[in-house]
Each structure stands twice: as structure tokens, then as C-alpha cells.
């Protein structure tokens, strides 16, 4: 199991990590974004999505899916699903949203993945965001299948400061 800690001093560094990870993802890649409200999950997801769309020549607003539960985007390579499961009351509701199929065919970013319960995909990369003493600083605990994500994480963090 891969376990790595990343440290970002500013929101811009967190956004840069999302942008660096964006081109390395493909259909079936799932990122589970954990952390308290305000920890940077949506900021990271928005940066990643905007970078993928920009590489396809698409300029689109990327709102938080807090009220819609899911926002989808097409970057001309595959769909990108951004889900916020905070308001789910039962883990099985994820089936009604179509996430089970998206986990196999789209790039999926899932905020509040705890709501998935036993349906968390085994192949996912989990990013647990924590707010530091300085409100701009973020620590991200990264966990996932080692063989599947190790090279991707190394490429994405190439010039980023990690601990």
C-alpha cells in the first residue's frame, strides 16, 4: 500500500499539484478526497478539472457540486465526474447517481467518500486534506495501491515540495 505525505504552503501550491496530476489521469481513475470543510478538497478538484479542460481547449466554469451532487465535464478524452457526497444518507444511493459505472469509465473526483461506505473502489487513490496551523498550509496524506499509483504520484510531485 502506498502511503505518502505532501505539504503545500499555499493554495497555489495545492492548485499546482492538481494541475500536475491532471494529465496523468485516465478513464477509471478515481480520487477520493477526504478532509473537513475548508480543507481544500474543492479547490484541488477545481484546479485539476480546469487543467484538464484547458488542455482540451475548453474554458468552462467549475462550480462545487455541493447542491447538485455531481458535475460532469468532457475533456475530449473522457468524462470527468466531480461528486460531493456530503448529503448522501445511505451508501447505496451512489448507485442511483451512476458512480459505479463512472468509476470504471471516467476520471472521478469524489469529495466526502466516507459516504460510499463499503462501496469505496479498491483501485482509488485517497487524498486526505488537513489544514495546518497557518490557514494557507495543507498537508495531504496520500494512500492507494502501490503498483497502481506510485509512478503517477512521483510524476505529479516532481518539482513539488513533499515530506
pLDDT of 1-43, one tens digit each? Answer: 999 999 999 999 999 999 999 999 999 999 999 999 999 999 9
Q: What's the confidence (pLDDT) of residue 75?
A: 94
CA atoms of 156 and 14, how far apart (whole Å): 12
**Residue-level length of the chain:** 163
Q: What's the confidence (pLDDT) of residue 132?
A: 84
Cβ pair 32, 120 in contact under 8 A: yes
Cβ pair 125, 25 in contact under 8 A: no
Confidence band (pLDDT; 50, 70, 90) for 159? low
Superfamily of domain 2-156: P-loop containing nucleotide triphosphate hydrolases (3.40.50.300)
Q: What is the dihedral of CA 58, 52, 15, 1, to 10 degrees?
A: 160
pTM of the model: 0.94
Cα 59-63-68 angle, rounded to 5 deg: 130
pLDDT digits (tens, 9 = 90+) for 35-83: 999 999 999 999 999 999 999 999 888 989 988 899 999 999 999 999 9
3-state secondary structure of 114: helix
Produce one character per residue of 66-82: b if its CB has 16 or more CB atoms within 10 Å, e if not.
eeebbbebebeebebbb
For residue 111, give every residue at least 6 positions away whose Cβ sits within 8 Å of its Cβ, in sequence order, or none. 33, 41, 42, 45, 65, 82, 83, 84, 85, 86
3-state secondary structure of 22: helix
162 or 90, which is more confident: 90
Q: Give the residues across from 128 on adjacent strands.
A: 34, 141
Amino acid at each position: 500500500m502506498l502511503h505518502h505525505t505532501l505539504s503545500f504552503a499555499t493554495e497555489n501550491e495545492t492548485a499546482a499539484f492538481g494541475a500536475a496530476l491532471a494529465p496523468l489521469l485516465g478513464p477509471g481513475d478515481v480520487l477520493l478526497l477526504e478532509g473537513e470543510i475548508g480543507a481544500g478538497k474543492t479547490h484541488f478538484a477545481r484546479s485539476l478539472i480546469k487543467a484538464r479542460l484547458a488542455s482540451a481547449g475548453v474554458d468552462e466554469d467549475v462550480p462545487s457540486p455541493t447542491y447538485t451532487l455531481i458535475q460532469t465535464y468532457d475533456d475530449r478524452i473522457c468524462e470527468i465526474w466531480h461528486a460531493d457526497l456530503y448529503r448522501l444518507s445511505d451508501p447505496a444511493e451512489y448507485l442511483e447517481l451512476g458512480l459505479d459505472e463512472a468509476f470504471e469509465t471516467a476520471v472521478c473526483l469524489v469529495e466526502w467518500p466516507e459516504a460510499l461506505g463499503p462501496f469505496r473502489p479498491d483501485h482509488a487513490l485517497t487524498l486526505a486534506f488537513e489544514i495546518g496551523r497557518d490557514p494557507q498550509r495543507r498537508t495531504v496524506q496520500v494512500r492507494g495501491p502501490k503498483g497502481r499509483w506510485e509512478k503517477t504520484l512521483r510524476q505529479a510531485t516532481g518539482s513539488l515540495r513533499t515530506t
